[in-house]
């Protein structure tokens, strides 16, 4: 019995390792690099321009299929390409009746990409609290880091000890603002390489959203008064010269909000169909429009709004991903499942199964029949070998490799 169980474990080990590595090597050989389309909205044409997935030649087309080369594209997207156009002396003086001033273009140009894998990543929960009004041109990294547990504690880097005075000061301030310790989410940009500092947005234990920063050594803490049932899963803070919004909130229900400078009022973005676990959210902004692209493995959905976030136009496209190409179809027939411990859409190492039992069923049956003959040649009766056959039926090629490599236990010697 013990020997038999030991053999079963050995089979399972082989199946486990094979179901990770064999598909991995298979895809290393056959995977095609499929790039997502890039979708732009031209403020000149008031229509979409799409950069295809042909990566060798940079070319653009519109919905009607007209092709554009790079120079034409740059002209149609003067705000995105203002630096090149300025260099070429081709930047128009005005667009849509608005004079084009370099400083203004630069300030209104926004880009941001949020990947699914950054949403479920929890970094080390220690953050530097910048002095947001230091009077200096450049931000400086502070000498301490803070955490928000039962208090807002500052830990000095040099001594690794808690700065009680500063901790008291901030903790008391937060408490007086009805902050409920500890924090659930702390979001900010812990880098000194940014234009200015807006501190952190913090979700407390009762789901209230607070804006916390340090101003001239003093705590600044404001309750943003967001609805309690918002269920924030992720916040991205953007310290941009265009002081229109502090950043972006993603909720459990796949809603996306901007936190506006106007009393932290939330602006809901019209991003129907967004799934933060599956889509990259690409955000571009300019003087006239906001372009949001929801990018999946084989699709893109682009929504263009005006600066009041009213939908102006939208674009959708799908293409074949690796699973649908020949290699993917073949794989689904060969492998009943593949196991990966990492995923492009998550920062987490976990079990990521891709199951195609139905497609691979014929293969599994063939492998099971082969197993039956192998067992017969080993003089193992069905009664003793049923587990092997069942294993192959479920795990297909992986189980077959295991069973054919590992002989059975002699029936007299168990």
Enumerate binding residues for another protein (CB under 8 A): 2-3, 5-7, 9-10, 12-14, 16-18, 20-21, 121, 123-126, 128, 141-143, 145, 147, 155, 157-158, 160, 190-191, 341-342, 347-351, 405-406, 409-410, 412-413
Taking residue 206's Cβ as centre, other Cβ atoms within 10 Å add up to: 11
Q: Cβ 325 to another protein, closest distance in Å?
A: 26
Of the two residues 27 and 319, which places its CB atom closer to another protein in the complex?
27
Is the bond preceding 182 in cis, omega lying within 30 degrees of 0? yes
Whether the CB-CB separation of 260 and 267 falls below 8 Å is answered with yes
- Supply 67's token pair: 């092709």
**Residue whose pair of structure tokens reads 């003793």 in the numeric block:** 384
Q: Cβ 357 to another protein, closest distance in Å?
A: 21
- Supply 257's token pair: 């909000």
Q: Cβ 345 to another protein, closest distance in Å?
A: 14
Q: Cβ 260 to another protein, closest distance in Å?
A: 28
Of the two residues 1 and 64, which places its CB atom closer to another protein in the complex?
1
Please report which helix (H) or strand (E) contains residue 206, including its range.
none
Of the two residues 145 and 170, which places its CB atom closer to another protein in the complex?
145
Of the two residues 5 and 172, which places its CB atom closer to another protein in the complex?
5
Q: Cβ 259 to another protein, closest distance in Å?
A: 23
Q: Cβ 258 to another protein, closest distance in Å?
A: 25
Of the two residues 21 and 261, which places its CB atom closer to another protein in the complex?
21
Helix axes of 361-377 and 382-405: crossing angle, nearest 10 degrees: 110
Of the two residues 81 and 171, which places its CB atom closer to another protein in the complex?
171
Q: Cβ 126 to another protein, closest distance in Å?
A: 5
Task: Determine the 3-state secondary structure of 318 from DSSP.
Answer: strand
Label the pairing between strands 110-114 and 127-128: unpaired
Of the two residues 12 and 175, which places its CB atom closer to another protein in the complex?
12
Return the beta strands (E) in 200-331 as ranges: 200-204, 209-215, 218-223, 232-237, 245-251, 256-260, 266-268, 280-285, 289-295, 299-306, 311-318
Give dist(CA 140, CA 311) in Å, integer.
40
């Amino acid at each position: 019995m013990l020997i038999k169980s030991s053999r079963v474990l050995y089979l399972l080990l082989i199946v486990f390792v094979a179901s990770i590595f064999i598909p991995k090597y298979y895809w290393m050989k056959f995977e095609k690099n499929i790039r997502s389309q890039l979708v732009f909205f031209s403020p000149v044409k008031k229509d979409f321009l799409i950069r295809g997935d042909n990566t060798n030649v940079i070319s653009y087309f519109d919905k009607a299929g007209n092709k554009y080369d790079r120079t034409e594209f740059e002209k149609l997207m003067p705000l995105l390409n203002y630096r090149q156009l300025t260099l070429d002396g081709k930047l128009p003086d005005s667009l849509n009746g608005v004079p084009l001033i370099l400083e203004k273009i630069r300030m209104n140009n926004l880009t941001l990409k949020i990947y699914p894998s950054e949403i479920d990543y929890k970094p080390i929960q220690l953050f530097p609290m910048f002095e947001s009004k230091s009077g200096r041109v450049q931000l400086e990294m502070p000498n301490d880091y803070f955490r928000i547990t039962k208090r807002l504690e500052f830990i000095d880097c040099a001594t690794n000890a808690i700065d009680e005075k500063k901790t008291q000061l901030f903790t008391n301030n937060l408490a007086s603002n009805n902050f409920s310790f500890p924090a659930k989410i702390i979001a900010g940009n812990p880098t000194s390489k940014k234009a200015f500092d807006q501190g952190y947005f913090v979700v407390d234990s009762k789901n209230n959203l607070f804006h916390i920063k340090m101003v001239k050594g003093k705590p600044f803490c404001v309750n943003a008064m967001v609805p309690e049932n918002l269920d924030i899963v992720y916040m991205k803070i953007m310290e941009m010269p265009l002081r229109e919004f502090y950043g972006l909130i993603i909720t459990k229900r796949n809603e996306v909000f901007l936190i506006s400078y106007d009393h932290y009022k939330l602006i809901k973005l019209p991003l129907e169909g967004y799934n933060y676990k599956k889509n990259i959210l690409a955000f571009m902004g300019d003087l006239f429009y906001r372009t949001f692209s929801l990018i999946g493995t084989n699709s893109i959905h682009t929504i263009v709004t005006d600066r009041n976030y009213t939908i102006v136009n939208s674009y959708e496209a799908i293409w074949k991903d690796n699973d649908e190409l020949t290699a993917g179809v073949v794989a689904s027939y060969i492998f009943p499942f593949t196991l990966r411990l990492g995923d492009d859409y998550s920062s987490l190492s976990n079990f990521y199964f891709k199951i195609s039992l139905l497609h691979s069923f014929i293969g599994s049956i063939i492998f099971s029949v082969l197993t039956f003959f192998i067992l017969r040649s080993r003089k193992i009766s069905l009664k003793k070998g049923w587990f092997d056959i069942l294993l192959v039926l479920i795990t297909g090629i992986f189980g077959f490799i295991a069973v054919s490599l590992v002989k059975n236990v002699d029936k007299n010697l168990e």
